[in-house]
Each structure stands twice: as structure tokens, then as C-alpha cells.
Structure 1
Amino acid sequence: MLNINPKRRRVLQAILYEAFAIAFVGPLLSLVFDKPASSTIGLAFVLSSIALGWNYVFNSLFERWESRQVIRGRSLSRRLLHGIGFEGGLVIILIPIMAFWLDITLLNAFLTNLSLLAFFFFYAIAFTWAFDRVFGLPASAGKQQATNQPLNNE
């Protein structure tokens, strides 16, 4: 296993995650919509860039909201709210771009986006598992410290 510092690990994980996603989604969109691969790989790059930017913006807004809540921590309902908010916002942003780029209806862009969401659900699980096998688990998921102080998982 390769061992790198946590910040570099997060950056590397994000870059590899998006690079493999672009490499898979671009050609797949080309095949499904009978568009040139150069165009759909470009679209995949744009969608990926937007997702990265939205991730930063959304998490900043969510954490600002979260810091004002009386109840602290991340319950299942708060995690569901976070996931729905992030993915819902991303769908709203991406649908018009996909419709324009692929020259399809908003409904077809929405259905395509739902298919991509399903793909990314499984892709994220598989990618993270493979990444952790190569680079090891992050400190937050590692074994408890010898001092018997629990790690902060929240």
C-alpha cells in the first residue's frame, strides 16, 4: 500500500475519480447518442468540472447552515438531506447543459442524468474500495489509536 499525507490523498482521490469517470462516461455518451467521442468526452469533462465546483459550493453552504443548527452531528436524516441537496442541485445545473450539448430534450437529459446518477452510485463504491486497497484507509477510518481515544468520524 502507498502511504501519502491526507491532503494529497484527497486531491489524488478526487483527480483519479474524475479522470476515470470522464474516460468511461465520455465514450459511453458517444455510443448512446451517436455523437463524436471528442464532443462527449468534452461534455464529460465539463460535467465533471461542474460537479467538482458544485461540491465545494454546496458543502460550504451546507456546513454554514449546519453550524447554526442546535443539534450537532450528522444523523442519518442530516446525511440524507445532504445527499439529496447535493444531487438535486447538481441535476438542476446539469440538465440544461446536457440537453444543449447533446441536442436532446430536457426530459431525455433528465433521464440520462438519472442513469448517470445510478452509475455513479456504484462507481463511487467500487472506486473508493479500489483506491483504499491501493492507498490504504484514511486516518479517519483507521484503527483506534493506542491511547484509547476514539477517532472523530463526524
Structure 2
Amino acid sequence: MRTTRDRIRHAILFEAIGLVFLIGGGALLTGFDVQALGVIGVVSSLVATAWVFVYNWLFDRAMLRIRGSVVKTHPIRALHALLFEVGLLVILLPFIAWMLNATLWQAFLFDIGIVIFYLVYGYVFNWTYDRIFPLPEARAA
């Protein structure tokens, strides 16, 4: 299982890299103001940083209980990414609607693009992170 220090490094790297893509790519693809996207990005990043720490801890505890290991297969990684994004969507949707002066439905549609990006990004980032910083169990195997 990962240490607290490793989880903090993971969360910071994930959010910093994702924020660069979200603000820059979001402005290019949607035409929304960079400043509005920046506020949404920074607030979302702070919320997501806390969420990723709590969520990964809970997910790993559930994996230990169910499977006896925190080593993730590809299907488990896909489920992990999907459940993370659903939780984050529920947490952030009202804020995004408020920031964009939009209905919840409009904010939901906007957020779907962000969710799709983060599903792919989360999978690739976590796979890469596990290769660069392997779990102690994976090193021993």
C-alpha cells in the first residue's frame, strides 16, 4: 500500500499536470474565458486534490478487503477512474454552474468534456505513475 508521502506526491503531480491541460485546452476548445476556466480549474484542482487522497485511500482499503491486494488490473483501473470522476462530478457540478452562470444541465454538458479528458488522463497518469513509482508489492514480485 502507498505511504502518505507518496499519496501527496501523486495528488500534486496529477493536479498540476491536469490543470495545465484543462485551462489551455479548455480555452482553445470551448472559447470560454481563460480567467473563468482558471478559477474553475484551480477550485476544481483543490477539491480534486482532497478527493483523490480520500478516494484512493478508500479504494485501496476496499481492494484489500475484497481482493487482499492493492495491485490493480486494467479493468480495475478503468473502474477506479470512472468512480473517481463520478464522485468528483457530483461534488463540483453546482460550482461549475454558478461560475459559468449556467443551468445544472449546461454545466453538466460542459463537465462531460472535462470528465472524458480526465478519464483518459487519469488512466494514463496512474499507469505511468505506477511504472515510475512502483508499489512495494510490485517491486517484490
Same fold (TM over 0.5): yes
Shift of 1:44: 0.2
Give the length in aligned residue pairs: 135
Determine the structure 1 residue equivalent to 2:120: 122
Determine the structure 2 residue equivalent to 1:138: 133
- Asked if 1 retains the 8 angstrom alpha-carbon contact of 2:85 and 2:118, the reply is no
Q: Where do 5+ consecutive residues of structure 1 fail to align?
A: 1-5
3-state SS in 1 of match to 2:116: helix
Identity %: 30
3-state SS in 1 of match to 2:102: coil
Shift of 1:47: 0.5
Structure 1 vs Structure 2 CA RMSD: 3.7
- Alignment of 1:34 onto 2:29: no
Query: Which whole-Å CA distance do the structure 1 matches of 2:54 and 2:10 have between them?
Result: 19
Shift of 1:59: 4.2
Shift of 1:30: 3.6
- The higher radius of gyration belongs to 1
Shift of 1:122: 2.2
Shift of 1:84: 4.7
- Asked if 2 retains the 8 angstrom alpha-carbon contact of 1:17 and 1:127, the reply is yes
Name the structure where helix makes up a greater proportion of residues: 2
Determine the structure 1 residue equivalent to 2:84: 86
- CA gap of 1:41–1:59, structure 2 versus 1, over 3 A, is same
- Alignment of 1:17 onto 2:18: no
- Asked if 2 retains the 8 angstrom alpha-carbon contact of 1:26 and 1:42, the reply is no
Query: Which whole-Å CA distance do the structure 2 matches of 1:61 and 1:130 have between them?
Result: 21
Query: Which whole-Å CA distance do the structure 2 matches of 1:38 and 1:27 have between them?
Result: 11
Q: Where do 5+ consecutive residues of structure 2 fail to align?
A: none
Query: Which whole-Å CA distance do the structure 2 matches of 1:119 and 1:86 have between them?
Result: 13
Using structure 1 for the length normalisation, give the TM-score.
0.62
